[in-house]
Structure 1
Amino acid sequence: MLQVALNGRRSRTESRFVPLTTPAIVQDIQLCVQAGVTSVHFHVRDKAGNESLRAADVAAQLLAIREAVPGIPLGISTGEWITPGERLQHIERWEVIPDFVSVNFGEPDHLEIAQAVLAKEIGIEAGVNHLSAAHNLIRSGLLPQCFRILLEPEEEELGKAIQTVIAIEALLSAHLTSRQSLLLHGTGYTCWPLLELAGSKGYQARIGLEDILYLPGGHEPVDNVTMVQYALRRSY
C-alpha cells in the first residue's frame, strides 16, 4: 500500500505545487489515485489556505473529495499545532468524519485526542516518531485499537533514522496483532531511502509533499503525482 501525504504544514513559499485550496486538493488526489495510491493523508485547509480542524472546513473538503474520488480512504492530521488548545473541541463537533486520522503519540494530550476520535468510530493511525512516543502508545492501552502504526523517525541523518526505527520495532513487536499494519516513512533526505526500506520489510509506505519536495537527487520541486509515479515505478 502506498499512501500519498498531500500537503502537511507546507506553504507555497516552499513549493508552488503544494495544494492548499479545495479544488487543488481534490485535483491532486484524483491524479494520485489514478496513478495508483490506495490511501490519502492530508491536512485540511480553510478558505485562506491555513491548516484547520474546524468542523465546517473538515466537512467541506471531505465531501468534495468523496464526490470526486468515491471509495478512497481519507485521513487527516490532528497535529496539536493546527489549533492549539482547541482541537479536542473541534473534533467533538465533527459531523462529517474522515475514515481515519493520525494521532501523534509524542504530543502531550495524545490520550484525550485518541479517545475523542475513537468515540466517533474514526480509525487511528498512531504516529510514533521516537521511542518515548512508542512507550506512550503502549501505556495508553489504545494500541490494539489503532489499525495502523506510523513509524516516522524525524532524524534527517539516515543512519540515526534507521536506529530509531529499529528501537521502535523492538519495543512494539510483542504488542502488535496480525490485524495491524506498519507504515514507514521518512522526512527530507531520508524519505526515499526509507521508502525502499519499507518495501524490503513488507511495510506500507507513503510519499508526498508533506515529507519531501524533490525526487531522489533532485533540486527542483515536483508535484505529488510525479513522486507517486516515481515511487511506483521503483516497484514499491
Structure 2
Amino acid sequence: MNPSADALRVLVVEDEHGVLTALQDFVRELGCQPVGALSAEEALRLVESEPVDVVLLDLRLPGMSGLDFLRLRAFRDRGIPVVVISGIATEPEAHEALELGAIDFLRKPIGLDRLADVLSFLQVHTLKGRLYERRAPRAAVTFPVRVDTDWEWKALDLSPLGVKVAPQAWLRAGATVQLLLALPDGGPPLAVDAVLARTEENGDVLSFVNLKPPDFARLTKFVNQVRGQGPGEPDAP
C-alpha cells in the first residue's frame, strides 16, 4: 500500500538494519509513511528538520539511549507521541519510559496486531500532523476500578491508553498494579496491567501496559460511544 499525502509520518528508531527495514515495511503496509533512523542522534536531527507524527523508539541504541532521547527538552517540547519497543528492557526502564511520556511499551518480538491498533488509533486522531491537545481522546466517565483484588478506586476519565483515578496517597511513580475495570458497556470486567505515569492535582494517571488488541478495541469503542462518536470516527476540529 502506498501512503497518501496526508498519511501518518512514523519515525522508526532502531539500530538493527533488518529490524528497521521490517518495521518500515510494516508501517508502510498500514498506509503510514515510515522514516528510519539508526540512532537517537539521527532521530533528533530528523524531528528537527521534518514533520514527524509518531516515533517508534528502541531503548537500547548506540550512543544516546532511548531513555536519554525521551529526556531531551528539544524533543519533549514537540509533544510527539512515542511508542517504545524493546526486547531486553528491564521493568524499571519500561516504567521510566512511560513516566517520560511514552504512550505505550511493546516488547520484542513485537505483536504486529497490537502495533497496527496503536498506529490506526493515532491515525484516526491526528489532523494535519498534529494530535489533539490530550493526545488520545478521553471520556469523562465514572465507574469502579478494583486494584489487585484488594481495593476499589473510582475512575474519573478513561482513554484507550490509560485511566485517571481519584488520588491515591500510597501510589508511587513507577508502581505497577493490576486493574479490573468495571466498564458500564454490558461486558465483563476488563483486567489490565497499568503503571503510574504521572500525578495531577485532581487524580493519578495510569498508563496501560501490553494491552491486548481485543481489549484496546473494546476501550476505543467505549470511549467513542461515551463521547457521542462512532467506533472509529475522529474528533471534530
Structure-1-length-normalised TM-score: 0.34
Greater helix content: 1
The structure with the larger Rg is: 2
Structure-2-length-normalised TM-score: 0.34
Greater strand content: 2
